[in-house]
Amino acid sequence: MGQARRLKPPIGRAGVPKWARWAAFPLIALLGLLLRLPQLGARPMHTDEAVNAYIVGQLLAGKPFTYDPQDRHGPALAALALPLARIQGAKSFSDLTESELRLTAVLAGTVTILLLGAAVEMFGFVPCLVAALLFAAAPLPVYYDRYFIHESLFAVATFGLIFTGWRACKGQSIAQAALAAACAALMLACKETALLHFFALAAAGFVFWRWNLRDRGLAGLWLPRAAPAAAAAFLLVSILLFTWFGGNSKALAALLQAAPNLLVRAGGEGHQKPFWYFAQLLAGGWSGGVILALACIGFFQTARKRDPSPFGFLAFYAFFLGIIYCLIPYKTPWLALNFWLPIALFAGLAIESLWRLPAKHPALRIAIPVCYILMGAVAAALIAHDTEQRVFLHAADETNPYAYAHTSEDLLALPAEIDRLARQGAIAVPRIAVIASDPWPLPWYLRHFSEVGFWQPGQQPGKADFYITSTEAADRYGDQLQNFRPEFFGVRPGVLILLWSPAPK
């Protein structure tokens, strides 16, 4: 049995000249890059970004990455951000800028678009083209590809695993199997939630084999010789990253604690949302409903038959992933990026199917394409509107559903105000004492000051030129703050801090 018969070729693959494919996807990636780069440093640093930035700062200072399953995700983001920061001239935490750090996520998002070009053999030209356009311009991927968190890198690694895993099965290739395993290791080194994706992928693979491939013999799909290579690649990449290239062997023991911690975190930890949260988020804005409706058309078109194409597998993966993420109480908006690959590809599949309709109804051969072009133009306008509003105009606004517990723009004025007051008071090197149970993202915003200390409420910080306290901590330090004047700054919606500066005499 030939390979092409083992796994059905995807819909709409044929008939596209290679030059068109190789021209289209780099151009779309360029469009994605052009939408991701402007004003990259303008949005305030989210607390999670600030924590990741601090980790990169520690690495720049020569310290190794210490994996801590309690407070940190894996080392993959830092491992990529570090050389990028160095290339851009950063030598210490205080040298780092928002743009330098966010470039890592921008590049991960751009690689996703390029990878769709490589996946034409798998999903077909039109679905990949539409998916690439959606990745390039839709508000959700553009927003989170400009965010210095693990999600974009995780998403591209997931796509890499699906893509190379499929090719490994199709071509019975040991090299592809090793690549797939490396992608899986990269996912794990991004976030512990990789375990959920591995489960969804395994469940999807199993059901796809039993249902869509009708229990076809595993010999045609599975190459036993690939297993050792895949296992070796997975272990090698995982060990290299988690031990920070051999420097910290304790990380492997810590990694074993990741699963119990993940279970605790899944309970919510203050981020509990209803099960329909992601559907509501993805359907929001002017364009969300249109994209989601198209994706649903593509999904049901695939699901209603035993489709042996990669879309059949993707449908099961999306189904299991959706069930898992909806059932887990812990939900944050950037997790929705994990749905974007199936959504974009199924939307592309739906568009391809709709486009083919006129051929079946010759009487409408002209009217329907014209109608589709108009609808496409309207959809593009809706997407452009949402991207402008959510990514550029209201990036940190609490009305923006993507800006979750986001740092307020007001906080950007804090370091400038300390600078101004220090100059006014002729304080050359201001000593700043921060007293707050959760000071983040202040370490980022105070990184240019050389004398900054952080204390927990109740601890005695000693003498300082400026104090920064949470509203909760302030009343414990009445005597110390007697001759200081307070000024409020917004940290996040509903969260304020006080800057205490020497009162004018």
Partner 1 sequence: MATAALAQNQVVLKTQLPPPLFVGTPVPLNVPNLEPPTRGKRADFYVPAGTVNLARNKKVTSSDNNPIVGTLDMIDDGDKDGNEGSWVELGPGKQWVQIDLARRVNIYAVLVWHFHSQARVYRDVVVQVSDDPTFRSGVMTVFNNDYSNNFGIGAGKDLSYIETYQGKLIDAKGVAGRYVRLYSNGNTANKLNHYIEVEVWGKPAV
Q: What is the DSSP string of 263-277?
A: HHHHT-TT-B--TTH
| Helix pair angle (18-36, 98-118), 10° resolution | 160
Stretch that binds partner 1, among 82-90, 285-293, 379-387, 483-491 (CB under 8 A): 483-491
Q: Which residues contact 319 (CB under 8 A, 6 or more apart)?
A: 204, 303
Binder to partner 1 among 410, 415, 443, 457 (CB under 8 A)? 410
Q: Using only C-alpha atoms, what is the Rg of the chain? A: 25
Burial 394-408 (b: 16+ CB within 10 A, else e): ebbeeebbbbbbbbb
CB of 488 to partner 1, least distance (A): 4
Based on CB atoms, which residue is closest to partner 1, 29 or 435?
435
Stretch that binds partner 1, among 100-108, 217-225, 249-257, 496-504 (CB under 8 A): 496-504
Question: From residue 73, how far is each of 21, 187, 242, 319, 504 by CA, in Å?
Answer: 36, 11, 10, 26, 45
Based on CB atoms, which residue is closest to partner 1, 3 or 471?
471
Binder to partner 1 among 64, 220, 486, 502 (CB under 8 A)? 486
316 is a contact residue toward partner 1 (CB under 8 A) = no
First to last CA, the chain: 91
Rounded (5°) CA angle 292-326-303: 50
Stretch that binds partner 1, among 217-225, 281-289, 426-434, 490-498 (CB under 8 A): 490-498
Stretch that binds partner 1, among 115-123, 148-156, 308-316, 494-502 (CB under 8 A): 494-502
Reduced to 3 states (helix: H, G, I; strand: E, B; else coil), residue 188 is helix
Instruction: Tell me which residues in 384-403 interact with partner 1 (CB under 8 A).
Output: 397-398
CB of 392 to partner 1, least distance (A): 16
What number of CA atoms fall less than 13 Å from residue 386's CA on the CB side? 26
Based on CB atoms, which residue is closest to partner 1, 255 or 421?
421
The contact pattern for partner 1, residues 458-477, with x = CB under 8 A and - = no contact, is -------------xx-xx-x
What number of CA atoms fall less than 13 Å from residue 108's CA on the CB side? 35
The contact pattern for partner 1, residues 418-457, with x = CB under 8 A and - = no contact, is ----------------------------------------
The contact pattern for partner 1, residues 197-226, with x = CB under 8 A and - = no contact, is ------------------------------
447 alpha carbon, distance to own chain's centre = 25
Binder to partner 1 among 240, 409, 427, 443 (CB under 8 A)? 409
Binder to partner 1 among 239, 296, 405, 481 (CB under 8 A)? 481
* C-alpha to C-alpha distance for 447 and 445, rounded to whole angstroms: 6
Name the residues that contact partner 1, by CB under 8 A: 397-398, 408-410, 471-472, 474-475, 477-478, 481-482, 484-490, 493-496, 498, 503
